[in-house]
Amino acid sequence: MRETTASEIERINVIILLVGSAVSIIVMRSFMHFFSFAVASSIMILNFRYLRRIIEGFFQGTVAAHAPSEERQPGEEARKVPAISKGELLVRLPLKFAILIALIVVILMWGHVNIPFFVIGLSTVFLSIVISQVVVAFSPEAGRKQNGT
């Protein structure tokens, strides 16, 4: 059975950002709705990427920027993620979430955003995870696994 990777979730999340932003500007015809959705979705994409970096650094020490199936060009360097200790993990994760909450509060308090569209934008990572799992569940590989072939 094929597994979902963080790269696939990020790719789906960017697609949701683009499609959702286009739909919000076309349907609502208001820049504020578009802006609210796009800002919240962008915040969550960056949050997910930073969380991914923290987790990869903790579990793998140093990680190449390319997946094993991708080929690098000759002379192209692999991006290294610094190793993270347990102590750093215990500091970085709560700090990341505190900064995320503070940023959201600042935007809601002083930014001119439409709250429903902002909340929908904040849920794009969850939506991309659900979509990626549905794609995996309905892939031909999953059907063969269930049938025992």
User: In this predicted model, what pLDDT tens digit does every residue of 70-125 receive, in sequence order?
Assistant: 555 565 555 566 677 888 888 999 999 999 999 999 999 998 899 999 999 999 99
Cβ atoms of residues 126 and 40 within 8 Å: no
87: three-class secondary structure by DSSP:
helix
**pLDDT recorded at residue 79:** 58
**pLDDT recorded at residue 63:** 46
- 145 pLDDT higher than 70: no
Instruction: Tokens 């650094």: give the residue.
Output: 57
Mean pLDDT of the chain: 84
Cβ atoms of residues 111 and 85 within 8 Å: no
Of 13, 7, 1, whose CA–CA distance to 130 is shortest?
13
CA distance 2 to 144: 12
pLDDT in tens, 32-76: 999 999 999 999 999 999 999 988 888 876 444 444 555 555 655
Helices (H), ranges, the chain? 6-28, 31-60, 86-110, 115-122, 124-137, 140-147
Cβ atoms of residues 111 and 31 within 8 Å: no
